[in-house]
Structure 1
């Protein structure tokens, strides 16, 4: 089998395949795959591979490679200098690199950010959860879950070719620029509910600038601060961008506070921020070629008229389809609404790109009966699983249904979802398996303190939640001391409502007793770094971060791993069939440990040792409702006290200028 030797790796060269790691969005595993799928698929076409075959993605600069046998390759994507044994070679065409010759892929030029190398027969890599794509944050896929380094040796897979190699024609090549137009569909969260009409006008008329702090998780943009159509997010948080957690779409424009970020293929699957528009599937390749300093214009298109992502020709190569667009859908992202069969709850169907529908239940409140309806709908859809269905991702009061738009049109999906919802039983009948998982918690852990310090030094030093998140939580909830915060967290029993809130099986959980529901706002802007398995509160929810990465929840401590990186090897508490520890409707109970004890427990878990106490049980919505009824007076009194404290905190923010509208650009 032919070997590829890496003489120079380049700054960020990884193995990817297409469409990547799908069908695991509901547990926080992003698809990964090529950020510019168009160039990647065309490179494979040039060498005769099936278009999804594993190849290399190179960021800013390509590698220097040598091959043990004669090998056919093709280089696509951003313009670069390509040489074979120092002799110039063209892009977009099959090239034969003879045994011992050196293929050198240079630095990306003035336009474009990523370059792709396809090898006839593909590049060998271990399959993980159905894909060979590298997810560097999760440390899996590709070459040991990391970018390539000098001295690596890769194997050519030697798979059968699909077609004869051929040159990619000029009208097939993606047109790169430094002033981009992105086709977007309206929704899921637009005007007038979340943004003002003037905000949306700004969104479409403003050339946003690509910020240098951008990567495969998301492209950060610089542009005008929204005016916002509401004053805050209620139980979801004090900032008007805050909502109860729901699933995201790749390509969504996510406002993390006032900062707009285009979510990439390594982005989070679940979160609590609004997204006014979503880049169409056919235009998402452009995210992979956006360079710092480039400008971006959002152009609304009608979902039904969006180009097909299956097209590898002229319909996707440039801004032609956008310029000729007749404009976007004038529905604020809402496709329709119905009532549940018992007439008690409004069901709203929101557009989330041309490949997702976000089904929302009821008002924007925390109500476990709404999560029960979400669960019932997911079970109903999964029972049929129509052709084209890719993912079902539940949020707090919503279910995102992701499809392949080339196999299942959004209008057909909408009609079918309405029919499915009408067939559901009453939510009060919900009884589900519910384990109690006992986890250690290092209170106010040094790693979380470090994250706050990094945030103050590199992002924002004057935030109301700095320098100590726990004190901020105390103030937000009208408690007498931080000891009260400690007592409530350890007394609470947290019900897991979602998985993958900031990646890899990370639970979004809520205390079953409303008197334990500490409510905070999320960071604005979000942190750029969070330690793995930090525990935080955002809105009324608690999350355990599945891995290092960005985040916005207020820290209370740190715990042990919720994702088994030793999979498929067994580890205490983990099911050998999958690497995530927790399940929907599990209950979490914390027990205190010191920071040093936690480090020992984390080392044991990483080595496959240690124990996790798990008690079997069930959760009955009817029983929970009886508990709420019995304690209604005390619950209402506690909630009123917390609301007064939040109002006072909000007034302090207002007095300090935290909510002031800035007409200039913000990072």
Structure 2
């Protein structure tokens, strides 16, 4: 794996661990970005982690770009010794698949889709070799997901499914982006699922919606009082399918500030996962039912 360094204008250094997403690349990027943070380099103003890379913003009046690049490169040894264990949390997230709101939206934008004659789930099921939409939905929620980055839109998590490569679901983005996506839509693009934190434009396929707020800049939501963004890199998510009645019930609890997300502290071991995908996933998801 060859690390690539480049400048982003006069105030950024971009560090790419790999051109494609993998859990190994994520852990190396996380380890190195943490090393940059711990080094407290004079002039660094922000560190932005991504799926298999990170970007450092700095003040060029305090440190020259070439000097900043050299400081960061000197920390690459930390990436080579990346810790492959992570103390994190697993969160159960309800999803109302095939809901009426994303369906209405996707039908408005069929002219921008690869297949104007069906729904996003119809298309995703077919190109991934599933006989039915129900089978595809089961594949989407049957294994946990790893939050590899949060951003692009405030609070939006990118989620990478914890399965072996040959079982990865893959669905391309729309041919042309939509100008509308309902808030809290569960979407899919490439090998990543996501949850749209706000209503707005988007290009990911739309599979369902969650009643759980994930971004609250006013911090009025009970479980977001400490920080306006729910997710953070390293979180593990278990999607749980719900019906319309359950959706309405949970939404009412969220709006009344009585809802508490189901969260358990866990340890994710990359080597254990690579040795036994199913066993590791069963252990992670089983933690949600403990206590």
Whole-Å Cα distance in 2 between the matches of residues 629 and 444 of structure 1? 27
Structure 1 CA distance, aligned partners of 2:240 and 2:272?
A: 26
More helix by share: 2
Contact map agreement 2:217 2:228 (CA 8 A) in 1: yes
Matched, 1:525 2:179: no
How many corresponding residue pairs?
277
1:483 positional shift:
1.6
| Larger CA Rg, structure 1 vs 2 | 1
1:406 Cα deviation after fit? 3.0
Structure 2 gap segments, 5+ residues each: 281-291
**Matching residue of 2:160:** 510
Change over 3 Å in CA distance of 1:465–1:358 after alignment to 2: farther
In 2, the alpha carbon distance for the partners of 1:373 and 1:580 equals 24
Q: 1:430 aligns with which of 84, 94, 100?
A: 84
Match of residue 563 from structure 1? 215
Aligned residue runs from structure 1 range 260-409, under 5 A: 345-362=1-18, 364-409=19-64
Pick from 116, 129, 151 the counterpart of residue 478 of structure 1.
Answer: 129
CA gap of 1:518–1:629, structure 2 versus 1, over 3 A, is closer
Residue in 1 that maps onto 2:66 = 411
Once superposed, which parts of structure 1, at least 4 consecutive aligned residues long, lie more than 6 Å away? none
- Residue 555 of structure 1 and its aligned partner are, at CA, apart by 1.0
TM, length-normalised to structure 1 = 0.40
Q: Distance in 1 between matches of 2:104 and 2:8?
A: 36
1:551 is aligned to 202
Distance in 1 (alpha carbons) for counterparts of 2:37 and 2:112: 47
2:96 alignment partner, SS class: strand
Work out the CA distance in 2 between the residues paired with 1:465 and 1:599.
31
Alignment CA distance shift 1:423-1:482 (3 Å): closer
Q: Structure 2: how far apart are the matches of 1:402 and 1:436?
A: 30
Kept in 2: contact 1:436–1:617 (CA 8 A): yes
- Kept after mapping to 2: 8 A contact 1:508/1:541: yes
Q: Does 2:273 match 1:588?
A: no
Match of 2:109 in 1: 455
> What do you get for the CA RMSD once the two structures are aligned?
2.2
Which structure's relative contact order is higher, taking Cα pairs within 8 Å and 6+ residues apart? 2
Structure-1 separation of matches of 2:112 and 2:141: 30
TM-score, length-normalised on structure 2?
0.87
For residue 528 of structure 1, give the secondary structure of its aligned residue in structure 2: coil
Instruction: Give the match for residue 272 of structure 2.
Output: 623
Preserved contact between residue 564 and residue 571 of structure 1 (Cα < 8 Å) = no
Partner of 2:26, secondary structure, is: helix
Distance 1:590 1:381, change over 3 A: same
Residue in structure 2 matched with residue 311 of structure 1 by the alignment:
none
- Native 8 Å contact 1:538 1:553 kept in 2: yes
Aligned-residue offset at 1:605: 1.6
Distance 1:548 1:465 in 2: 24
Unaligned runs of at least 5 residues, structure 1: 1-344, 632-667
